[in-house]
A and B are shown apart, each in its own frame.
Chain A
Amino acid sequence: MANNILVVAEYGDGKFKSITHQLLGEAGRLAAQTGGTVEAVAIGNGVKDAAGQLGAYGAGKVYAADDASLKDYDGASYAPVLVELVKRTQPMMIFLGATPMGLTLGPRLATQLQCALTSDCTAFALDGGAISVTRPVYGGRAVAVYQVKKLPLVATLRQNAFAPAAGGGAATAVDALTVTPVALKTKVVEMTKAETGKIELTEAPIVISGGRGMQGPENFAMLESLASVLGGAVGATRAVVDAGWRPYSEQVGQTGKTVSPTLYIAAGVSGAMQHLVGMKTSKVIVAINKDPEAPIFKVADYGIVADAMQVVPLLTEACRQLKA
């Protein structure tokens, strides 16, 4: 087995997603210790030309599996591409993002390779030949360190938990992989896409979440304007999603998304345990709630005890002025 690290890139809307740069950043840091190379693979349709850019972020070797059959992500078609590549190149670790793609592709890959898997990792350490991996468990109510017993390790890395690679290097020649199309056993028969071009919640540097204290769906427009002034995305609590005020894709928490932005603003959110586990690793937390006893204040760096209906527009205006 080589001491290389293989990064599985994620491409969408004409560019590599920010998680890809984070994977390359951590892979680069570790490879400097193992003396191995960072390799990267891009999978999709029309990714071959872009793949060379990964070299600029530290990938010493770049592969592309570019085929019409790989246009949309499906674990059943993507996993065989990776299994074949891993068997040939024998990396020590395979890094994917803890994204909808990585969280389903990682387990498939580790199963086919009958090797170790660690999901949603937040730190790696190398000690001699041993790899230890830190990851939150119990929805972030505890933090565990795992030791890897059977290499290679397939790991998905939590978004925004790792420093991105600096970039600025040279592009790399792309090694095109031969793709044998797989007959899929599942078929997407209908798809409704909401607006595109919005910042994805898990990628957003700033998240403004609303809870039931926002009173109704119409008041989320206030959060949308604050988000647009700050360059952030809107999130929601489960209570809000269950009420049908906002789509499930915006739910933050135990059974929704885990976010870790630099700034998290919670407006009219009580701060139930199941919500806190999805956001409490945010760098700075602001809570706006009219109840001074609300549990959200226990994790907030800055708190405002007042009516969110009044505070949010004022805050939007204040930020607009600061930004001007």
Chain B
Amino acid sequence: MKILVLMKQVPDTASPISVSNNQVDASKIDKYAASPYDEYALEQALQVKDKDASTKITLVAMGPARVREMIMQGLAMGADDAMIIKAENAGEMDGLTVAHVLAAAAKKTGFDLIFAGSKGVDDDQGWAGIALAELLGLPLITTTRSTTVAGATVRCQRDVEGGKETVEAALPALITSGQATEPRYPTLKGIMGAKKKPIQETDVAGLGVSGDLLAPRVQMVKLDMPPARQAGRILQGEPADQVKELARLLREQAKVI
């Protein structure tokens, strides 16, 4: 069985973002990492492989040279090989363009199952994975928590409003991961082994994607910091007095209760 895991590199979720000239100030980003949902996706794929060692996992990433670091981490966690699509301008592509590129990549590598994150936590659009399923005509299961494969059937657990559900589809299929099991850490052996795993490099033109498909349908024209929240008032006195004062302020000043 062959699994593709699509991975996007983003600024680490714990680091603040600074903006200058309508762009994220790259010099202020302390760390890039795989988008958390992509890591959950990889973990779900690795759990499928844990149960069936014949499974091969290929990581697919598009972006500037630094994505190699993320790929090495994914290989160290247990993926078998990778394809890097070099694109300095990947950040300016909209989700549909990304999906067209990934569709070409997926056709080239072949697959039985594709995992994507439910959204990249940079542009937060959540478009590429779903668009890819549409372009490839695959059954789509979104925001999953865990996945098992039995024969030619994939079965996913997902959280739904006020409950849980189990969804099945025949392979080939595409799954977008929600928050799932914490991704495993690479072992020392994994880190050493990753260096020997094959990484194929290509670019958008090399995949035969060109023309209209690359023209963005939406384009970011402005980027700002969100309005800062002023730290407010710390109430004083005994807890009972603080609470009375709080209730009064919420009613009379803030008018929210």
Contact assessment for B37 and A186 in the assembled complex, using a CB-CB cutoff below 8 Å: no
Contact with B along A131-152 (1 / 0, CB 8 A): 0110111111111111111100
Contact assessment for A263 and B218 in the assembled complex, using a CB-CB cutoff below 8 Å: no
Contacts of A299 on B, CB cut-off 8 Å? 229, 231
Contacts of A108 on B, CB cut-off 8 Å? 130, 134
Contact assessment for A193 and B243 in the assembled complex, using a CB-CB cutoff below 8 Å: no
A273 at the interface (CB under 8 A from B): yes
The answer for the CA separation of A302 and B15 in the assembled complex, in Å, is 25
Q: Interface stretch among B45-53, B70-78, B165-173?
A: B165-173
B142 at the interface (CB under 8 A from A): yes
Contacts of B231 on A, CB cut-off 8 Å? 297-300
Contact assessment for A189 and B168 in the assembled complex, using a CB-CB cutoff below 8 Å: yes
The answer for the CA separation of A283 and B255 in the assembled complex, in Å, is 11
Contact assessment for A143 and B216 in the assembled complex, using a CB-CB cutoff below 8 Å: no
Choose from B125, B134, B163, B173 the contact partner of A118 (Cβ within 8 Å).
B125
Q: Across the two chains, which residue of chain A brings its CB closest to B132?
A: A111
Contacts of B192 on A, CB cut-off 8 Å? none
Number of A-B contacts (CB under 8 A): 254
- Shortest B73–chain A CB gap in Å is 19
Q: Across the two chains, which residue of chain B brings its CB closest to A320?
A: B247
- Shortest B8–chain A CB gap in Å is 13
A311 at the interface (CB under 8 A from B): yes
B68 at the interface (CB under 8 A from A): no
Contact assessment for A186 and B126 in the assembled complex, using a CB-CB cutoff below 8 Å: no
Choose from B11, B138, B167, B217 the contact partner of A188 (Cβ within 8 Å).
B167
With A143-B225, A306-B239 known as contacts, the answer to whether A263 contacts B19 (CB < 8 A) is no
Contact assessment for B221 and A143 in the assembled complex, using a CB-CB cutoff below 8 Å: no
The answer for the CA separation of A254 and B244 in the assembled complex, in Å, is 33
Contacts of A104 on B, CB cut-off 8 Å? 130, 142
With A273-B16, A322-B247 known as contacts, the answer to whether A194 contacts B168 (CB < 8 A) is no
The answer for the CA separation of A273 and B30 in the assembled complex, in Å, is 15
The answer for the CA separation of A263 and B122 in the assembled complex, in Å, is 27
Choose from A138, A145, A193, A249 the contact partner of B124 (Cβ within 8 Å).
A138
Contact assessment for A192 and B16 in the assembled complex, using a CB-CB cutoff below 8 Å: no
B210 at the interface (CB under 8 A from A): no
Within 267-324 of A, Cβ neighbours of B (below 8 Å) are at 272-274, 280-281, 283-286, 292, 297-307, 310-311, 314-315, 318-319, 321-323
Q: Interface stretch among B57-65, B92-100, B104-112, B196-204?
A: B92-100
Contact assessment for B95 and A186 in the assembled complex, using a CB-CB cutoff below 8 Å: no
A115 at the interface (CB under 8 A from B): yes
With A146-B219, A147-B218, A147-B221 known as contacts, the answer to whether A136 contacts B134 (CB < 8 A) is no
Choose from B36, B94, B163, B233 the contact partner of A193 (Cβ within 8 Å).
B163
Which DSSP category, helix, strand, loop or mixed, fits chain B's interface? mixed
Contacts of B126 on A, CB cut-off 8 Å? 103, 107, 119
Which DSSP category, helix, strand, loop or mixed, fits chain A's interface? mixed
Contact assessment for A196 and B131 in the assembled complex, using a CB-CB cutoff below 8 Å: no
The answer for the CA separation of A214 and B226 in the assembled complex, in Å, is 30
A191 at the interface (CB under 8 A from B): yes
Choose from B122, B123, B163 the contact partner of A191 (Cβ within 8 Å).
B163
Contacts of B229 on A, CB cut-off 8 Å? 280, 285, 298-299
Contact assessment for B224 and A107 in the assembled complex, using a CB-CB cutoff below 8 Å: no
A87 at the interface (CB under 8 A from B): no
The answer for the CA separation of A302 and B37 in the assembled complex, in Å, is 33
Q: Interface stretch among B79-87, B154-162, B183-191?
A: B154-162
- Shortest B1–chain A CB gap in Å is 19
Within 28-75 of A, Cβ neighbours of B (below 8 Å) are at 75
A100 at the interface (CB under 8 A from B): yes
Known: A142-B223, A255-B178, A302-B250. 14 other contacts (CB 8 A): A100-B143, A108-B134, A110-B217, A114-B96, A137-B123, A141-B17, A146-B221, A185-B170, A186-B173, A189-B166, A254-B13, A304-B239, A319-B247, A322-B257
A-B contact pairs, 19 of them (CB 8 A): A110-B96, A110-B217, A133-B218, A138-B121, A139-B121, A143-B223, A147-B221, A186-B141, A189-B168, A196-B162, A247-B159, A256-B179, A263-B250, A283-B256, A299-B231, A302-B233, A302-B249, A304-B234, A321-B247
Q: Which residues of B contact A (CB under 8 A)?
A: 11, 13-17, 19, 24, 36-37, 94-96, 99, 119, 121-127, 130-131, 134-135, 138-143, 145, 155, 159-170, 173, 178-179, 182, 215-226, 229, 231-235, 239-240, 242-244, 246-247, 249-251, 254, 256-257
